[in-house]
Structure 1
Amino acid sequence: MKSPYESLIHLVVFLTNLRIVATGRWIIFIIAATICGAVTYFQNLVSYNYIAPQTGQHLTCTTDLVGNPDIFSVYVTDGRIAEMAREKLCSDQIIKRQYSEVKITIGQSDYDTFRYINHGVVDLALVKSNVVDAFGADQIYGLTEIASHPDYSAFFIALRERPELNKEYLLGKRIGLLDYPSSRSGHIVPKTIMQNLGLSDSNVDIIYYSSHQELRRALLAGDIDIISSYWAEDDNKKFSRNYATPLQESVSGMKWYLKMQTQNTDLFCAMQSVVHDIAMSHPRPYYKTITLEEGCN
């Protein structure tokens, strides 16, 4: 039979060995977790090199540059801008010297925009500033503002009376909205207002159109009672400002951002020239108003 003294010694030795084994197991566990985390990180890093849009489309073109696999990636949400961007970028001399291909993604939803900006996979983008700010893309990826379009207001516009923002008034009305969910004045803001009033497609006759111009034509033709849009200068000729009810006084304007991880001033100035040409060629008056950031002659 062991003496109490021997039993105490054996207990101390056992606990010491147990602590060593447990400590060793924790060290092994921590090392394994670190390795797994690092592998996952680099796998994800590789997979982010190309991110397919959820419902978007692509326009591409190649340059004459040989031996350089770099692709100039562009993200926009307007099909007309995408077409003009491809034409102008693919003929730009700076792009031809620095990139072998231009790839333009036309996003179809805010989800597309969030993914592309959040992962920093675009070189040039036309988006809202709040998206860039939300993900810190200017600090993380060097997205730098090179040009901006003005802020604007969203309105419910009617022909013969001022629309009221209450459920009773809007019930039974034919309301024209834009069919692309990235538009704030033509989709996001009015949808939010109606949702807050307890209105939806089930109790309001919502008719979707593909452009602000089509909204205005439908209102003038009597096909709808109210449209949701911005107030353009030309609207004073056909509509009364007295019959425009503000939905949101200030909607953040669209801005052009260029990834500037190096001091590539040639590219900066070339892209300012490209986006300015796009603005002047665009049929919508809103896009024709553009302010270029300082830095180029």
Structure 2
Amino acid sequence: MIEDKILDETLGLINGSGTIDAYNFLKSNLSKLNEISSQVYNFLYCLAATSHNEEEALEWLEEAILDKGIWYRPEVFEDEDLESIVDNERFKVCVGVSEERYNNELKTACTKFTLDSVLEENLLVVLHGNQQNNVISQSYWSNVKLDKYQIEYLQSKELDSYNLYRWDEDGSAVEQLEQNLTKVSDMFQNTILSGFSAGCNAILHFIIETDIKIKGIILNSPWIPIIESQGRLIVETLKEKKIKCLLICGNQDEDCYPLYQQFNALAEEVGYEFQEVIEDEVGHEYSRDLYKYVSGFVSQNKM
């Protein structure tokens, strides 16, 4: 998606030339977006606040919350990037409005699983990353067609911001997956779980904490902090349960590549073989060759 690429480049500028250049770059590329999402607004007001543009930061915040009806989970406003505006009354008004909407959303938040009928012999379930949703997942998987596989999508009930969701490390990911997969696992011969970013972490928690049979997992840009505390148990469980794994990661993914390296080192120690694709000059994003890698993984492992 265009938004993901723009935000990825913005992050690169933040880490490289600084927030002012990143802010100017993001503003200059807004016209390329069909709409400004809650995530983009978050970048805008945070970058403005850290670039000595407090007035613009407040204007972006008011546009997002007061004009567009957007809301955020309360933790978003604890970001140290916003220190220069936290005492401003306009900021406090926006936070209050956002928190009220967030609390209202909590009352009806629920997991959304797109599966409503059995159409194929096998099932592949896609989990989004943080600050994403099923629609975003579908945009990346739309051209992936697998023989005898039904591709469905599972959206977390954990709120991130307006129309965006997350899988918290200490959240209810395992419970959500277990509740939904228990209902349908016996309806299919094989089940593959695929995650992007934090969705991968949710999958690994699920693998070691439940006994539901899974044939394979696909970890794309894997944000897997669980590997730091339970890494050996994870790879031992994958090996014991004979779960096939495809891991796709960019070597420029500053947060996830080191976690992949830890996973790989533990796999070598335990003797767990998995399929990996490390893409050169790629950051934290979906692989452009997703179909090729996924179809190859499924066919090679005869799943």
Task: Please report the TM-score for the alignment, with normalisation by the length of structure 2.
Answer: 0.26
User: Between Structure 1 and Structure 2, which shows a larger proportion of strand residues?
Assistant: 1
Higher relative contact order (CA 8 A, sep 6+): 1
User: Between Structure 1 and Structure 2, which shows a larger proportion of helix residues?
Assistant: 2
Larger radius of gyration, structure 1 or 2? 1
